[in-house]
Every structure is written in structure tokens, then in C-alpha cells.
Amino acid sequence: MTDKSVPPPNCPEAFRVTNLVPMVHVVDVDRSVEFYTLLGFSCISRFSGHDGVTNWADVTSERAEIMFARASEPIDPGQQAVIFYHYCPDVMALRMHLLSKGLADGGIPPGEYKPDEPLGSMPQTNAVFRPTFPFYMPEGEIRIHDPDGYCILVGQLKK
């Protein structure tokens, strides 16, 4: 959605940035590509070094795109300060699909603890959590942790 009341950027159109693709450092690029195929992404480009190890890949799904680059050090899931927000037509069906493909059931998402429900040990990677229904996404939203612990939120588009 474009807000027509917002003034144009203070940058000439001839060299204005018009697209953004996040590039994420991951421990194992091939593992990340395989994980994101569960969300509907396809690998469109890949680069491997002389040792045969994949150093970089680009995945896409319709208008969504992410690049993965091999990290030079281990990834600390607790230090990830980015959230990837995606949209899909049916978050409950996506959650069931991910569970059927072996992702752990993360239970109650972090920050959603209810006193009358037990708080289990939260998997930090390869997990999908119970749906929530925040005010900004009343149709539902799920949280997913990828193999490196990055947080993916998926909001359901209105039916």
C-alpha cells in the first residue's frame, strides 16, 4: 500500500533504490535453501567454492526473495535482531504442512505465555509455534524458527 500523502523521497528517480533483498548469514547455505523450500521458495541461483561447499544462494517465491551467505562464525540464535515477515493465504495449513515435514511444535510463541498453560522448553531452531491473532493480523499469524534460529513471522491474508 502506498500512502499518497507521503512526500516523494529526497532522491532523484534516476538513481533511487527500488528493491530490497535481505542477505542472511547462515551456517549451512544448502540446509537453509532446503528449509525455505518448505515455505514455497525455489533456489534461482547458487555459488559454490572450489571445495564444493555452497557459499551463497538466492531463493524466491513470487514477490519474496532472500539471499543466503555462508557465515564465517557460528550463528547465535539469541542474537538475531531481524525478523522476516511473510504473508500466505492460510497460516493454519502452512503450520500443519511444516509439522508434517518434521519441524518441532514450538508450542506457545515467546511473549505469549498464559499463566494457565505450561511453558515447555522452546526449540530454538526448526520449530513452528501456535498461531496468534494480534490486532494487526486478526486472521492469524505464526512464528517459525529456521535452522539458524532466525524468526519468521507469517501473517494470513484476509480470505
Could you give the residue range(s) of every CATH 3.30.720.120 domain in the chain? 19-74
Element of type H or E holding 31: helix 29-37
Element of type H or E holding 153: strand 151-156
CATH match for 19-74 among 1.10.3720.10, 3.40.50.2300, 3.30.420.130, 3.30.720.120: 3.30.720.120
pLDDT for position 158:
80
Q: Are 139 and 157 in contact (CB under 8 A)?
A: yes
pLDDT digits over 52-101, tens only? 999 999 999 999 999 999 999 888 877 777 889 999 999 999 999 999 99
Identity of residue 139: E
pLDDT for position 132:
95
- Give 126: exposed, middle or buried? Use CB within 10 Å, 0-12, 13-18, 19+: buried
Q: How many CA atoms lie within 13 A of 30 on its CB side?
A: 6
Strands 64-70 and 83-88: unpaired
pLDDT digits over 27-50, tens only? 999 999 999 999 999 999 999 999
